[in-house]
């Protein structure tokens, strides 16, 4: 498979998504301590801040969308339909997903929905 800008952007969003667990995990360690954080904590802890819950949900959403996005990009590369509109759609997806994580974690509902729809639409264009 050839190295294309689309694959580089795909790797970038995969790495970004792979780091999205860090804020809520660090908050958990700070909240309950390392020993309890490494055990099996309760599914719901009333002391967990709302932003940390939203961060975890945003990360899970990013993982779910990456599972759809990655095969579409790889298929486009394999079919040789890269560049132009496909590259633009890939870039839009990456920026939309980063924005989605930020606004979801911050608790900004309308921006969250708009960034999600933008990212999902970019998958269809890819």
| Predicted local distance difference test score (pLDDT) of residue 40 | 77
| Predicted local distance difference test score (pLDDT) of residue 43 | 64
Cα angle 89, 74, 3; round to 5: 90
| Predicted local distance difference test score (pLDDT) of residue 16 | 97
Q: Between the CA atoms of 52, 48, 108 and 17, what dihedral angle is there, to the nearest 10 degrees?
A: 20
Question: 5-125 domain in CATH 1.20.120.550?
Answer: yes
User: How does 46-66 read in b/e, with b if 16+ C-beta sit within 10 Å?
Assistant: eebeeebbbbbebbebbeebb
User: In the chain, what percentage of residues exceed pLDDT 90?
Assistant: 75
- pLDDT of 31 > 90? The answer is no
User: In the chain, what percentage of residues exceed pLDDT 70?
Assistant: 94
- pLDDT of 47 > 90? The answer is no
Taking only the tens place, the pLDDT of each residue in 48-88 is: 899 999 999 999 999 999 999 999 999 999 999 988 999 99
- pLDDT of 105 > 80? The answer is yes
Domain extents in the chain: 5-125
**pTM of the predicted model, to two decimals?**
0.90
* DSSP H helices in the chain: 5-19, 22-32, 34-38, 50-79, 84-106, 109-125
């Amino acid at each position: 498979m050839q190295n294309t800008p689309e694959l580089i952007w795909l790797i970038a969003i995969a790495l970004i998504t792979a780091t999205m667990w860090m804020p809520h995990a660090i908050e958990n360690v700070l909240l309950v301590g390392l020993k309890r954080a490494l055990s099996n904590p309760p599914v719901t802890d009333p002391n967990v801040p709302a932003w940390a819950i939203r961060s975890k949900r945003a990360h899970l959403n990013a993982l779910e969308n990456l599972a759809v996005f990655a095969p579409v990009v790889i298929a486009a590369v394999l079919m040789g339909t890269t560049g132009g509109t496909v590259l633009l759609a890939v870039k839009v997806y990456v920026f939309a997903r980063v924005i989605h994580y930020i606004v979801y974690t911050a608790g900004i509902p309308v921006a969250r929905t708009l960034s999600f729809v933008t990212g999902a639409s970019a998958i269809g264009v890819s």
